[in-house]
Amino acid sequence: MQSASPINGPSACGIRAPLKVSGALGGRVKVTPTATIGCPVTAHLDRWLNNSVQKAAYRQFGKPVVEIRQISSYSCRGRNGRHRGPLSEHAYGNAIDVAGFRLSDGTEITVVKGWWRGSRREKAFLKEALAGACDEFYTVLGPGADRHHYNHFHMDLLVTNVSKGRHFCQPRPSRGFFAEAEGDPVSTASIKPIPFTGPAGLGFSGD
């Protein structure tokens, strides 16, 4: 993770204190390509990986995630790539789109393939990861939300959502959400949890 020069414009786009993030969880999880995001998203990304993604990976595969593939971080554009209308949270470095994961044994799990046509374990892992994102971020959109999010998880910190006391999440985890993906999880009895320390200097601790 590296600090970068402020991004000012065009228009209302920009990040006051952008970070170039090439790794998360103290470098244990690689972020490719390097993401340009703000400090708050960096912290929430770490917590999501530690509290949800890694636990789901250990539960389903007995191995940790060592890399995530992001397909959009800072981008001065409208929502869903439109040139007109409200600006996307990407325009403020307040969002990240994650399309895939790689485990320590080299196994790759993509949202576009795993969500609909993956193995039971892949489906369970992705749905657990999405459910965890819904707890950690203020807006989460994934496959089934609309035609724009069929291949990735969009996660942002839209303040107006949390100020209203809610997190907007589609598809919304509900009773039966994991039914299709149920199976015998890999034992995690011998797995040592990865401690969460947060981005350097921010003083966060695990929930």
pLDDT in tens, 84-112: 657 889 999 999 999 999 999 999 999 99
Mean predicted confidence (pLDDT) in 26-54: 96
What mean pLDDT is reported for the chain? 83
Classify the phi-psi angles of 9: left when phi > 0, otherwise alpha if psi is within -120 to 50, otherwise beta: left
pTM reported for the whole predicted model: 0.82
What are the tens digits of pLDDT across the range 11-32? 889 999 999 999 999 999 999 9
| β-bridge partners, 70 | 98
Instruction: Write out pLDDT tens, residues 134-189.
Output: 999 999 999 988 888 999 999 999 876 655 667 889 997 765 555 555 555 564 44
Phi, psi of 94 (to 5 degrees): -110, 20
Nearest-angstrom CA–CA distance, 5 and 46: 22
What confidence score (pLDDT) does residue 191 get?
43
Residue pair 24/49 in contact by the 8 Å Cβ criterion: yes
Closest CA to 20 of 10, 33, 8, 9: 33
Q: Could you say which DSSP state residue 78 is in?
A: B
